[in-house]
């Protein structure tokens, strides 16, 4: 994966639909802006495979209703990950993030999925989240749709450099216990106990999404590609040739030779650590959200890895954002 991709369905057609709320926009001139345009026209997970049952219940499809009065105009625009904060009794702090909650009311996604190039927020009334089924067309009615209630992008998100490319979306409550945790479930943010391994170079991770495949057609089924985390110094060296900086909140994953990657429709989706095989002592017995699909230059190109927002860096921000949102009730 990895290239700045934003909402595939809305490019060039709904740019003017954003609400009046805005973020600060950095000066123009970075290659990131042209990279965004490239990614929007070049969406795909490259050389991935279908996600098996139970291996991606946290993956969510973020959808936008293009025509305000026409529900049939709703389109998949980005991915996301279901998360569930465990609040203290007084609701003044998040004590932890719950794994395997089948009734999540939050997702984490990329800020560029819900903020346009001018810094305007998407109209939340036209955003929904679909989860609980690997086939996003939901042909057998196995999934469920939740309305987006609130959009909370990182306040320092930079629409040009894509620094701090992360957002939380609060959702309407799902129909309780309507889906088993093997179909819809939350994934946890990295915890302090994970700091000794969570962003370790060469660690195997999975990027997941419904983006267009290498064949050029939309993927109706959730797909994933297995990638190694890339040493930060190596990644910065490769991108500096193109005048790009890998910020402190960014993580690289991919192969030097390219070929395995993600693109546009995968933006905002999960980069996950998942223990598999005969591992005597897994780094974590439950899956962990390592990153959020953010950007890149092209898709699957040699020496140009996918770039992800580093989940561990933003755990504290996410907790503060949740408490602030709950506090306004």
Q: What is the pLDDT of residue 124?
A: 95
Cα 264 to Cα 9: distance, rounded to the nearest angstrom: 10
Six token digits for residue 240: 């500096």
DSSP secondary structure string for all residues of 199-234: T-TT-EEEEEE---BTTSS--SB-EEEEEEBPPHHH
Phi and psi angles of residue 40, each rounded to the nearest 5 degrees, phi first: -65, -25
pLDDT tens string 277-286: 666 677 888 9
Q: Would you place residue 212 in the very low, low, confident or very high pLDDT band (cuts 50, 70, 90)?
A: low
Q: Is the dihedral of CA 107, 109, 111, 115 positive or negative?
A: negative
pLDDT tens string 36-50: 444 333 334 445 678
Q: Is the pLDDT of residue 9 over 60?
A: no
Q: Is the dihedral of CA 196, 101, 95, 313 positive or negative?
A: positive
Helix (H) or strand (E) holding 121: none
Q: What residues form DSSP beta bridges with 292?
A: 270, 309
pTM score? 0.84
**What percentage of residues in the chain have a pLDDT greater than 70?**
76
pLDDT tens string 130-189: 999 888 888 777 899 999 999 999 999 999 889 999 999 999 999 877 888 999 999 999
Q: Hey, is 175 helix, strand or coil?
A: coil
Cα 238 to Cα 232: distance, rounded to the nearest angstrom: 10
In the 8-state DSSP scheme, what is residue 105? -
Domain extents in the chain:
15-327
DSSP secondary structure string for all residues of 53-122: TTS-TTEEEEEEESSTT-GGGEEEEEEEEEE-EEE-TTSSSEEEE-SS-SS--EEEE-GGGTB-TTSBBP
**C-beta separation of 270 from 327 below 8 A:** no
pLDDT tens string 82-101: 999 999 999 999 999 999 99
Average pLDDT, the chain: 80
pLDDT tens string 56-88: 999 999 999 999 889 888 988 899 999 999 999
Q: Which residues contact 115 (CB under 8 A, 6 or more apart)?
A: 18, 23, 121, 122, 153, 157, 159, 167
**What percentage of residues in the chain have a pLDDT greater than 90?**
50
Phi and psi angles of residue 108, each rounded to the nearest 5 degrees, phi first: -110, 135
Cα 125 to Cα 34: distance, rounded to the nearest angstrom: 29
CATH level 3 topology of 15-327: Thrombin, subunit H (2.40.10)
**C-beta separation of 11 from 183 below 8 A:** no
Q: Which residues contact 279 (CB under 8 A, 6 or more apart)?
A: none
- Overall residue count recorded for the chain in this entry: 329
User: Which has the closest alpha carbon to 121: 109, 130, 133?
Assistant: 109
């Amino acid at each position: 994966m990895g290239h700045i991709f934003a909402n595939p369905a809305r490019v060039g057609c709904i740019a003017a639909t954003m609400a009046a709320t805005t973020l600060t926009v950095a000066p123009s001139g970075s290659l990131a802006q042209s990279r965004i345009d490239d990614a929007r026209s070049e969406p795909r997970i490259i050389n991935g495979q279908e996600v098996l049952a139970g291996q991606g219940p946290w993956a969510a499809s973020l959808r936008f209703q293009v025509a305000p009065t026409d529900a049939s105009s709703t389109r998949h625009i980005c991915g996301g990950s279901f998360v569930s904060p465990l609040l203290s009794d007084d609701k003044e702090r998040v004590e932890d993030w719950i794994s395997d909650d089948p009734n999540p009311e939050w997702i984490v996604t990329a800020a560029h999925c819900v903020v346009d190039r001018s810094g305007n927020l998407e109209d939340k009334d036209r955003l929904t989240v679909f989860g609980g089924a690997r086939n996003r067309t939901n042909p057998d009615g196995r999934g469920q749709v939740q309305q987006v209630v609130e959009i909370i992008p990182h306040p320092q998100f930079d629409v040009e450099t894509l620094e701090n490319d992360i957002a939380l979306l609060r959702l309407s409550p799902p129909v309780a216990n309507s889906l088993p945790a093997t179909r819809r479930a939350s994934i946890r943010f990295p915890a302090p106990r994970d700091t000794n391994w969570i962003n370790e170079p060469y660690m195997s991770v999975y990027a997941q999404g419904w983006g267009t495949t290498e064949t050029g057609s939309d993927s109706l089924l959730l797909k994933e590609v297995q990638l190694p985390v890339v040493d930060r110094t190596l990644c910065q060296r490769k991108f500096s040739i193109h005048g790009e900086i890998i910020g402190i909140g960014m993580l690289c994953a991919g192969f030097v030779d390219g070929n395995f990657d993600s693109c546009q429709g995968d933006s905002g989706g999960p980069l996950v650590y998942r223990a598999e095989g005969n591992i005597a002592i897994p780094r974590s017995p439950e899956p962990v959200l390592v990153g959020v699909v953010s950007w890149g230059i092209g898709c699957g190109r040699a020496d140009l890895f996918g770039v992800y927002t580093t989940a561990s860096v933003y755990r504290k921000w996410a907790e503060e954002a949740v408490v602030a949102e709950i506090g306004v009730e």
